[in-house]
Amino acid sequence: MSNLYNPRLHIMDHPLIKHKISMLRRKETNTKDFRQLVSEIALMIGYEATRDLPLEEAEIETPLMKTTGYFLPKQVCLTPILRAGLGMVDAMLTLIPAARVGHIGLYRDPKTFKPVEYYCKLPPDVAERVVIVLDPMLATGGSASAAIGFLKKRGVRLIKLVNIIGAPEGVEVIFREHPDVDIYLGCLDQKLNDHAYILPGLGDAGDRLFGTL
């Protein structure tokens, strides 16, 4: 059966996300607005992606009485894939201010579309954390799969992948190579073009985010 029905694939179905992704796609959307939209969408997908994080109970006292409070243990590591994943970090830190942030630098070789690694810096206790990998685009899946591979080599056991737009080809690659990972997508698009760009997509996310077109 196609992995597009895999229960680990979570496609957001929310009018605010659909509206904001449509604005993001528009070719007229300028860098400032693009950056703002990426952040707003990341916050909403991040809310869903953190829905099953475990909580620790602790007694607290309100002005009226004692009760049980529920708190997130300090257990999350956000890991943007450079460059474009950086645009999602601040929003995710608004949700989880105590999270650590790792960075994985990868770019796609323009001829082969294969990921080339140029940077990797992760917190020393990353293996004990839930890692949320951030990247606006899941195209061939090569970059996200390589990033997840690095994390697994460092001993990470619980990994979630958060993308704003994904292609069916990328979803298939992630589930084939990493069937234990949950994918959270703002939108599942149609397919890749001959240059491995997502259709209809939004073009090059890193260039649009940083104004390097």
Active site residues: 108, 112, 204, 207
201 binds ligand URA (CB under 6 A): yes
Cβ neighbors of 192 (< 8 A, separation 6 or more) are 139, 140, 167, 169, 198, 199
CA 41 to chain centroid, in Å, comes to 11
- Residue placing its CB nearer to ligand PRP in the complex, 75 or 186: 186
DSSP 163-191: EEEE-HHHHHHHHHH-TT-EEEEEEE-SE
Quick one: tokens of 3?
């992995």
Q: Which is nearer to ligand URA, 177 or 204 (CB)?
A: 204
Q: Which does 115 bind (CB under 5 to 8 A by kind): ligand PRP, ligand URA, none?
A: ligand PRP
Taking the CA atoms of 59, 60, 62 and 64 in sequence, report the sign of the dihedral they define: positive
Count of residues in contact with ligand URA, rule CB under 6 A: 8
| Binding site residues, ligand PRP, CB under 6 A | 81-84, 107-108, 113, 115, 135-144, 170, 196, 204-206
Stretch that binds ligand URA, among 49-57, 69-77, 125-133, 204-212 (CB under 6 A): 204-212
What does the alpha-carbon distance between residue 30 and residue 24 come to, in Å, rounded to a whole number? Answer: 9
x/- contact string, 134-173, with ligand URA (CB under 6 A)? Answer: ---x-x----------------------------------
Q: How many CB atoms lie within 10 A of CB 131?
A: 28
Judged by the rule CB under 6 A, the positions of this chain that interact with ligand URA are 137, 139, 197-198, 201, 204-206
